[in-house]
Amino acid sequence: MKSIKVEAKTVEKAVEKALLELELDRDEVEIEVIEEGSKGLLGLIGTKDAVIKVTEIFNPVKEGKEFLQTLLDKANINVQVEVMESETNEEQVVFNLKGEKELGLVIGHRGETLDALQYLTSIFINKELEDYFRVLLDAEGYRERRKETLERLAERLATKAESKQRKVVLEPMPPHERRIIHIKLKENKNVKSYSEGKEPYRKVMIEPLNN
Expressed as residue numbers, the domain containing 11 is 3-56
* The pLDDT of residue 211: 56
Which one of 98, 120, 140 terminates a domain? 140
Same domain, 186 and 198: yes
pTM: 0.74
Same domain, 50 and 71: no
Same domain, 158 and 172: yes
Same domain, 82 and 126: yes
* The pLDDT of residue 46: 57
Which one of 140, 167, 197 terminates a domain? 140
* The pLDDT of residue 120: 96
* The pLDDT of residue 101: 82
Structural domains counted in the chain = 3
CATH of residue 112's domain is 3.30.300.20
Cα separation of 115 and 122, whole Å?
A: 10
Same domain, 134 and 72: yes
Cα separation of 59 and 133, whole Å?
A: 11
Same domain, 66 and 134: yes
* The pLDDT of residue 6: 87
Mean pLDDT in order along the chain per 10 residues (211 residues):
85 89 89 80 68 90 95 94 87 92 89 94 93 94 94 96 94 92 94 92 92 56
Contact 125, 135 (CB under 8 A): yes
Same domain, 84 and 133: yes
* The pLDDT of residue 89: 86
Same domain, 30 and 68: no
CATH of residue 156's domain is 3.30.1370.50
Cα separation of 160 and 28, whole Å?
A: 56
CATH of residue 50's domain is 3.30.30
Same domain, 160 and 103: no
Same domain, 18 and 45: yes
Same domain, 125 and 178: no
Phi-psi region of 197 (alpha: psi -120 to 50; beta: other; left: phi over 0): left
Cα separation of 17 and 158, whole Å?
A: 66
Same domain, 68 and 15: no
